[in-house]
């Protein structure tokens, strides 16, 4: 189908930095020695799980892999130190569908080499259920863990025991019991490694880290690598200049591209600056931003948040109260800073992970030397939700195929306010005469939804049509329009008929998803339809459709914004037909 651009909208935007949200509470965890949190996630009960290492607790005076579980207010419920007679550290943690946890990091107590990648599964109280190690005779470490769509795990890190160079980026895929299915090394003849990995919507993986084998910098460049579902490289990109540049965290964005953070010594205002890079789906840079002052400023973790902007944490020596301060930077979808805030005291305080939680606020994990009982304590910071309304629309494209000339077709889009104050939609305007939308205005309370109906009037001329429905409102947006594409025909061509011949339920797309996915199904006849979503325990969590539907093709949207990461199931019942599917929410 040929797409024709029919209108141009010109606007001027003035960026005013907003005030950072309030800090709801801070907590420190540890004893008299060094204790560090590398990762945090919100758990299904609304609390938090922290992963890192402790020298205050455990079997030995060195480092023990450490899990800390808190309630929703950050009060400790339990902590578990795991390891052997030498050092262990955890860098990444996920909650599993059975309510337990899986952590990845490195071990010097077990395995074959000096350091080996370690993968530990625990129950809901942090008691070890199984341990797996991966590696050879040299140092091998796991820095990032994610549960995959098939219920297994993907671990990314670095190996000195195999590969082409002194150190290679290492990708390990396991089943749900931690047994290796495959592993791949990526890199050249020098030092290369991964700090972060995420499964992509096509079933492959995106990684970021460092490379000395590629790029212009003699001190290493930030590296972005895309693989297929078996870990085979599809493409790689380097970012940076002739000094040191690193990628520490990467995530696939809702437009199919990627966002990564780290630091750069090649560009920016200071010694090192926080680096934020947005790419398209092939890793080609769309924009990059640096943040910082005269000192060292690092980005350790990035997440795309509701509304399409980004939140980054790391640390800053340029701003704040002390030496290193935890730093959170919030940007819009173009990387323009909206607010930033420092957290800490007169000594060293660092943020390693930040995630948006169910109420729209944020949780940060790291370590503090300014507060707590020991030399360093694990540090947990709870940031309140932003006070601005946030506009989100799904889907952002509607296609009317085989529209018979003279007919009117109707579809719908869902607008959601994911912010924490009222979203006021002043007007809804169609760019072309053959489009209209209703209602013309609406006010949405926080975390509420409204449906807008788009009508497409098939023109008197056959062929392709395109236009847009534009929403004017008081909130942050990405996007603030819906693209409408139509194909007008003079009559029904039986070869292209879309009438369903049988009942059918499709796999949701995208899968894995965050936080919205689409479920499609077909009905060959009029039936009463129930489409429901269940969690891993079999409990119903959402009803997407409950009513009589005519024969045809349908799609339903499931929004997992208020649910925790994990496996979910969807089930359709239509007359005597019943079918179900499995999907994975990853935040």
pLDDT in tens, 515-563: 889 999 988 888 899 999 999 888 999 999 888 887 878 888 898 888 9
**Tokens describing residue 186:** 């990526």
Contact 380, 349 (CB under 8 A): no
Mean pLDDT along residues 489-511: 69
Mean pLDDT along residues 416-433: 83
Q: Which of 48-52, 98-102, 198-202, 517-521 has the lowest mean pLDDT?
A: 517-521
Tell me: pLDDT of 477 over 70: no
Mean pLDDT along residues 413-426: 82
Point out which residues pair with 557 in neighbouring strands.
518
Helix, strand, coil percentages (3-state) for the chain, rounded to 5, are 0, 55, 40
Distances in Å between the Cα of 63 and the Cα atoms of 31, 78, 130 are 13, 18, 20
Q: How many CB atoms lie within 10 A of CB 272?
A: 24
**Tokens describing residue 314:** 């790391």
| Model pLDDT for residues 311-321, shown as the tens digit of each residue | 999 999 999 88
pLDDT of residue 275: 98
At 14, the pLDDT band (50, 70, 90 cuts) reads very low
Percent of the chain with pLDDT over 90: 62
pLDDT of residue 497: 42
Domains, the chain? 23-383 (2.130.10.10), 387-493 (2.60.40.10), 498-587 (2.60.40.1930)
pLDDT of residue 19: 80
pLDDT of residue 234: 98
Contact 387, 421 (CB under 8 A): yes
pLDDT of residue 9: 29
pLDDT of residue 492: 43
At 478, the pLDDT band (50, 70, 90 cuts) reads low
Answer left, alpha or beta for residue 205, where phi above 0 means left and psi between -120 and 50 means alpha. beta
Point out which residues pair with 448 in neighbouring strands.
417
pLDDT of residue 476: 65
Contact 44, 564 (CB under 8 A): yes
Mean pLDDT along residues 258-267: 96
Q: Which of 15-19, 297-301, 394-398 has the lowest mean pLDDT?
A: 15-19
Q: How many CB atoms lie within 10 A of CB 362?
A: 23
DSSP E strand boundaries for 55-127:
64-70, 76-82, 88-95, 101-107, 116-122
| Model pLDDT for residues 567-580, shown as the tens digit of each residue | 999 999 999 999 99
pLDDT of residue 256: 95
Query: What does the mean pLDDT of the chain come to?
Result: 89
| Model pLDDT for residues 25-69, shown as the tens digit of each residue | 999 999 999 999 999 999 999 999 999 999 999 876 689 999 999
pLDDT of residue 4: 26
Mean pLDDT along residues 92-121: 95
Residue 248's contacts (CB-CB under 8 Å, 6 or more residues apart) are 195, 196, 208, 209, 261, 262, 263, 298, 299, 300, 301, 314
| Model pLDDT for residues 334-374, shown as the tens digit of each residue | 999 989 999 999 999 999 999 999 988 999 999 999 999 87
Residue 427 is inside which H or E element, if any? strand 423-430
Tell me: pLDDT of 11 over 60: no
Find the distance separating the first CA and the last CA of the chain, reported in whole Å.
35
Distances in Å between the Cα of 156 and the Cα atoms of 95, 202, 248, 284, 577 are 18, 18, 12, 22, 42
Percent of the chain with pLDDT over 70: 94
Burial of residue 16, with CB atoms counted within 10 A of its CB: 0-12 exposed, 13-18 middle, 19 or more buried: exposed
pLDDT of residue 50: 98
Contact 37, 367 (CB under 8 A): yes
pLDDT of residue 229: 98
pLDDT of residue 61: 63
At 296, the pLDDT band (50, 70, 90 cuts) reads very high
Burial 317-348 (b: 16+ CB within 10 A, else e): bbbbebbbbbbbbbbbbebebbbbbbbbeebb
At 228, the pLDDT band (50, 70, 90 cuts) reads very high
- Global confidence as pTM: 0.69
pLDDT of residue 514: 87
At 191, the pLDDT band (50, 70, 90 cuts) reads very high
Mean pLDDT along residues 148-157: 97
């Amino acid at each position: 189908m040929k797409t024709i651009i029919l209108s141009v909208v010109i606007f001027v935007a003035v960026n005013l930095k907003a005030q950072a949200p309030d800090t709801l509470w801070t907590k420190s965890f540890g004893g008299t020695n060094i204790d560090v949190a590398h990762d945090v996630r919100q758990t299904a009960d609304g609390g938090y799980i922290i992963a890192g290492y402790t020298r205050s607790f455990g079997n030995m005076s060195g480092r023990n892999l450490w899990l800390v579980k808190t309630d929703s207010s950050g009060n400790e419920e339990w902590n578990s130190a795991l390891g052997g007679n030498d050092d262990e550290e955890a860098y990444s943690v996920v909650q599993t569908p059975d309510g337990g946890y899986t952590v990845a990091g490195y071990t010097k107590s077990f395995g074959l080499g000096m350091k080996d990648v370690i993968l530990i599964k625990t129950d809901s109280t942090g008691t070890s259920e199984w341990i797996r190690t991966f590696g050879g005779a040299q140092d091998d470490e796991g820095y990032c863990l994610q549960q995959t769509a098939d219920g297994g795990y993907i671990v990314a890190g670095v190996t000195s025991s195999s590969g082409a160079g002194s150190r290679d980026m290492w990708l390990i895929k396991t089943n749900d019991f931690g047994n290796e299915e495959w592993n791949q090394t990526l890199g050249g003849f020098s030092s290369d490694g991964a700090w972060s990995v995420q499964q992509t919507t096509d079933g492959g993986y995106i990684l970021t880290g460092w490379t000395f084998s590629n790029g212009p910098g003699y001190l290493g460049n930030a590296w972005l690598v895309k693989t297929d579902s078996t870990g085979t490289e599809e493409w790689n990109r380097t970012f940076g200049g002739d000094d040191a540049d690193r990628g520490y965290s990467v995530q696939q964005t809702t437009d199919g591209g990627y966002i990564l953070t780290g630091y750069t010594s090649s560009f920016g205002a200071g010694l090192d600056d926080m680096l934020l890079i947005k790419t398209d789906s092939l890793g080609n840079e769309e924009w990059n931003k640096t943040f910082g002052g005269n000192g060292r400023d690092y980005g350790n973790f990035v997440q795309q948040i509701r509304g399409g902007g980004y939140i980054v944490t790391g640390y800053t020596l340029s701003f704040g109260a002390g030496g290193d301060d935890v730093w959170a930077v919030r940007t819009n979808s173009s990387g323009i800073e909206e607010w930033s805030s420092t957290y800490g005291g007169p000594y060293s305080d660092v943020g390693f992970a930040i995630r948006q939680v169910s109420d729209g606020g944020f949780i940060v994990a790291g370590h503090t030397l300014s507060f707590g009982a020991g030399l360093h304590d694990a540090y947990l910071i709870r940031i309140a939700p932003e006070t601005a309304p946030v506009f989100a629309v799904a889907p952002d494209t509607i296609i009317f195929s085989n529209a018979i000339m003279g007919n009117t077709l109707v579809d719908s889009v869902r607008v959601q306010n994911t912010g924490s104050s009222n979203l006021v939609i002043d007007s809804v305007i169609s760019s072309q005469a053959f489009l209209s939308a209703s209602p013309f205005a609406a006010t949405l309370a926080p975390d509420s939804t409204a449906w807008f109906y788009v009508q497409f009037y098939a023109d008197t001329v056959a062929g392709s049509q395109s236009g847009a429905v534009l929403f004017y409102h008081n909130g942050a947006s990405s996007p603030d329009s819906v693209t409408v594409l139509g194909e007008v025909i003079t009559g029904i061509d039986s070869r292209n008929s879309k009438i369903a011949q049988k009942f059918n339920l499709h796999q949701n797309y995208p899968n894995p998803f965050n936080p919205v996915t689409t479920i499609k199904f077909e009905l060959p006849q009029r039936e009463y339809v129930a489409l429901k979503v269940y969690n891993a325990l079999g409990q119903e969590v959402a009803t997407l459709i409950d009513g009589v539907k005519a024969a045809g093709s349908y799609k339903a949207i499931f929004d997992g914004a208020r649910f925790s990461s994990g496996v979910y199931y969807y089930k359709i019942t239509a007359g005597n037909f019943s079918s179900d599917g499995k999907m994975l929410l990853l935040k």
